[in-house]
Amino acid sequence: MTNKSIIILSLVVLYSRFISGKTTCSQQLVKEWHPQPSSYVVNWTLTENICMDFYRDCWVLGVNTKMDTPGNHIVPQICPLQIQLGDILVISSEPSLQSPEINLMNVSEISFIDCVQNTTTDDQLLFGCKLKGMHTVNPQWLSAGTHYFITVMASGPLLCQLGLRLNVTVKQQFCQESLSSEFCSGHGKCLSEVLDKTYRCHCQPPFSGIYCQELDACSYKPCKNNGSCINSRGKWNKQGCECICHPPFTGRDCSEIIGQCQPHVCFHGNCSNITCFTYH
């Protein structure tokens, strides 16, 4: 038996031991954008961070992230990763994987799910040499979007079938009007939920808008007597809103009654109410 055969057999044994249990990947439901890049190290191993089904058990969410794969077959893989645009990703291989000539290849989502290697092309390989020790992934493979990486080797079994595959979602942020602008205009947080593809502003009242740049004057409830408030961004009055009043109320804030005596109605006399809606 050759050394390569022994190594492959060892990997199969490791995998057989693993599938007796099931890993569930924990994931923050909401994350805030961090201004400085972060580094993530993914251990390329069969012994600690392989989950059994990308679509059901890999994330603790309470809901399915996608529909099941055809035939509902098990899809083992390294726990999915979500990072920001500009973050650094490092792949660290375990010693048992360093002897075979293995590398990582970028593939389509369908090839990732079905573990189809097809023809290995050099322009889709992540590293210029075999995977050994720690390797930093080139930023060209970490553009905004979801990327799918599988393990390839010159000969032997498809190791991605054993779980040595990884999908990475790289998120960008839309929380600044310009590079010099403050995040969310200083009136909110730049957040992303686990199923989101981007980071966006979550505004603090009374602010709204894509970048929390708009003041929601209606949040102060300025219209009395059940009047309807319409944000006008300063077009109607200094309050930045307009009150639509329901009869018999009127006035800027719907606090006046139509036909009732109001202060200074009569400049040279006294005002007397005749009916609910008229005066003289």
CATH code for position 196: 2.10.25
Pair 123, 195 in one domain: no
Check residue 68 and give its pLDDT. 42
Check residue 61 and give its pLDDT. 46
Please tell me the distance from the alpha carbon of residue 104 to that of residue 209, in angstroms, as a whole number.
42
Distance of CA 6 to the CA centre of its chain: 42
Phi, psi of 106 (to 5 degrees): -85, 125
Average pLDDT by stretches of 10, the chain with 280 residues: 47 46 73 95 86 61 39 72 96 74 87 75 83 90 95 76 90 94 95 94 91 85 89 57 90 84 57 47
Check residue 186 and give its pLDDT. 94
Q: Evaluate whether 77 touches 23 at the Cβ level (below 8 Å).
A: no
Return all residues near 126 (Cβ < 8 A) that are at least 6 apart.
91, 103, 104, 105, 106, 135, 137, 138, 141, 149
Beta bridge partners of 7: none
Residue 275 lies in a domain: no
Pair 188, 247 in one domain: no
Check residue 238 and give its pLDDT. 56
Pair 230, 205 in one domain: no
Residue with tokens 């600044």: 176
Pair 47, 84 in one domain: yes
Q: Of all helices (H) and strands (E), which one includes residue 151?
A: strand 145-153
User: How many domains does the chain fold into?
Assistant: 3
Q: Could you list the residue range(s) of the whole structural domain that residue 47 is in? A: 31-60+74-172
Phi, psi of 60 (to 5 degrees): -90, 95
Check residue 51 and give its pLDDT. 83
Check residue 264 and give its pLDDT. 55
Q: pTM for this structure?
A: 0.71
SS3 category, 44: strand
Q: Of all helices (H) and strands (E), which one includes residue 11?
A: helix 3-18
Burial (CB < 10 A; 0-12, 13-18, 19+), residue 150, is: buried
CATH code for position 166: 2.60.40.420
Instruction: Tell me: cis bond preceding 248? Omega within 30 of 0 counts.
Output: yes
Please tell me the distance from the alpha carbon of residue 206 to that of residue 9, in angstroms, as a whole number.
63
Pair 39, 147 in one domain: yes
Pair 144, 190 in one domain: no
Q: Evaluate whether 170 touches 83 at the Cβ level (below 8 Å).
A: yes
Strand 134-136 with 165-174, pairing: unpaired
